Copies of this chain bind each other. A is one copy, B any other.
Amino acid sequence: MDLASLTTPCALVDRARVERNTSRMSERMRALGVRMRPHVKTHKCVEAARLQVRGHFGGITVSTLAEAAFFAAAGFRDITYAFPLAIPAIARAAAVARAVEHLHVLVDQDVVVTALEAYAAEHAAAAANPHAARFSVFLKLDCGYHRAGVDPASPDAVRLAERLARSPAIDFRGVLAHAGHSYDCRDADAIRTVARSERDVTVAFAERLRRRGIAAPEVSIGSTPTMSLATDLAGVTEVRPGNYVFYDAFQAAIGSCTLEDAAFSVLTTIVGQYPEQNKLIVDAGALALSKDPGATHVDPDCGFGVVFTADGSRQLQELHVASLSQEHGQVHGSRPLRFGDYPVGSRLRIVPNHSCLAAALYDRYHVVDAGRVIQEWRPTHGW
């Protein structure tokens, strides 16, 4: 199928770049001696997940229980649900756990441990499989991002790990952290510094537990920026980057990748020229690109994506995605535009700021190779 026959706006996935991004990360991690348990939340589709796990043990990471159930149904057997387990979601998590070999959850709250123990006590006797209500649990550690997780410096962190390790209802896997603060970086050197700290803090905490006699077999870390640039992962057992499958304008701005690595883009049609305002209107608005503001700490005027020619071959630096309403994208000229270059009805390609949020707006991705649509991938959605 030809790109020209697609209805816009629509989501394009560059097959060759996904292959390259996934192979490169997979090889990097093999060279660094860690297992890949890639995150699938960016694309939420089976085809991309299969490319991510090639050459590794097959485990994946998900951000919702809907993803966990979807990937379990597609045959993935070892899944980490990397979002703090909600108490009302315990029964749903247990149902998914019964459908796979391993479902690992993460916890940083005492009351959730109590709730897991209560659930296990209530269900262990009744279950056909005595292990069905025994949860595989990571302790979520705050390695500097300060979103969720226990502070490794606090006495509570060790106490909670001890509680998890000793609980008969729980199979304690180890520690898990996410260096989301790598997204605050402005360049590759800064990302490498965060990567070192992510490893150091998490491995040091696991070693502290081991010195106290707490078995913490797994040390799981990994954001896309840090895993794209880390050079030493000694002591880490597995990593969970996800965005790297697609990368995006944000990752390129902070130095995780280049724009040539961006595998997800939105094809859009120019619906109007407004020469008196030196701008175009395109049919990619907030529902096509998401309203993620992008790496404004690197470029305050970054707009809502990076514009390319429709075939993706050439960046159009004079075009700036200045604002988005629900369906309208306003593309301003950063210098006086030659409007003959941008006929009404012709198309552009926009690499969004944040591919995770933009991809989630689509019910299908058109997978493109050598200018042709060769496949259609269908992501899951919801919770």
Binding site for B on A (CB under 8 A): 4, 7-10, 41, 63-64, 83-89, 92, 108-109, 111-112, 115, 146-148, 151, 154, 180, 269, 271-274, 276-277, 281, 283, 286-288, 290-293, 325-328, 330, 343-345, 347, 356-357, 360-363, 381-383
Q: What's the Cα separation between A98 and B330 when bound, in Å?
A: 31
**Contacting pair A344 B272 (CB below 8 A):** no
The interface centre, meaning the residue of A8, A274, A288, A362 with most chain B CB atoms within 10 A of its CB, is: A274
**Contacting pair B83 A328 (CB below 8 A):** yes
Given the known interface contacts A147-B330, A286-B292, the answer about A343 and B272 at a Cβ–Cβ threshold of 8 Å is no
Closest CB in chain B relative to A347 CB, distance in Å: 8
**Contacting pair B381 A363 (CB below 8 A):** yes
Q: What's the Cα separation between A10 and B86 when bound, in Å?
A: 14
**Contacting pair B383 A10 (CB below 8 A):** yes
**Contacting pair A63 B327 (CB below 8 A):** yes
Q: What's the Cα separation between A283 and B151 when bound, in Å?
A: 20
List, in ascending order, chain B residues with CB within 8 A of A288's CB.
Answer: 383
List, in ascending order, chain B residues with CB within 8 A of A92's CB.
Answer: 7
Q: What's the Cα separation between A126 and B278 when bound, in Å?
A: 40
**Contacting pair A383 B148 (CB below 8 A):** no
**Contacting pair B345 A86 (CB below 8 A):** yes
Q: What's the Cα separation between A276 and B149 when bound, in Å?
A: 12
Closest CB in chain B relative to A139 CB, distance in Å: 13
**Contacting pair A383 B326 (CB below 8 A):** no
Number of copies of this protein chain within its complex: 2
**Contacting pair B325 A87 (CB below 8 A):** no
**Contacting pair B344 A111 (CB below 8 A):** yes
List, in ascending order, chain B residues with CB within 8 A of A154's CB.
Answer: 276
**Contacting pair B345 A115 (CB below 8 A):** yes
**Contacting pair A293 B293 (CB below 8 A):** yes
List, in ascending order, chain B residues with CB within 8 A of A286's CB.
Answer: 290, 292, 357
Q: What's the Cα separation between A235 and B265 when bound, in Å?
A: 44
CB < 8 Å neighbour of A269 from B88, B287, B290 = B88
**Contacting pair A326 B146 (CB below 8 A):** no
List, in ascending order, chain B residues with CB within 8 A of A9's CB.
Answer: 383
List, in ascending order, chain B residues with CB within 8 A of A357's CB.
Answer: 286-287, 291, 326
The interface centre, meaning the residue of A146, A148, A343 with most chain B CB atoms within 10 A of its CB, is: A148
**Contacting pair B343 A111 (CB below 8 A):** yes
List, in ascending order, chain B residues with CB within 8 A of A362's CB.
Answer: 382
List, in ascending order, chain B residues with CB within 8 A of A84's CB.
Answer: 271-272, 281, 283
CB < 8 Å neighbour of A328 from B4, B147, B274, B330 = B147
Q: What's the Cα separation between A147 and B331 when bound, in Å?
A: 10
CB < 8 Å neighbour of A87 from B111, B345, B363 = B345
List, in ascending order, chain B residues with CB within 8 A of A344's CB.
Answer: 87, 109, 111-112
Closest CB in chain B relative to A338 CB, distance in Å: 16
Given the known interface contacts A148-B272, A271-B85, A328-B83, the answer about A363 and B382 at a Cβ–Cβ threshold of 8 Å is yes
List, in ascending order, chain B residues with CB within 8 A of A326's CB.
Answer: 41, 63, 356-357, 360
Which 5 pairs across A and B sit closest by C-beta, in order of nearness? A87-B345, A84-B271, A86-B269, A291-B291, A86-B271
Q: What's the Cα separation between A151 and B277 when bound, in Å?
A: 11
List, in ascending order, chain B residues with CB within 8 A of A108's CB.
Answer: 272
Given contacts A8-B88, A362-B382, A363-B381, 10 further A-B contacts (CB under 8 A): A8-B383, A9-B383, A10-B383, A147-B330, A148-B272, A151-B276, A286-B290, A326-B357, A360-B361, A363-B382
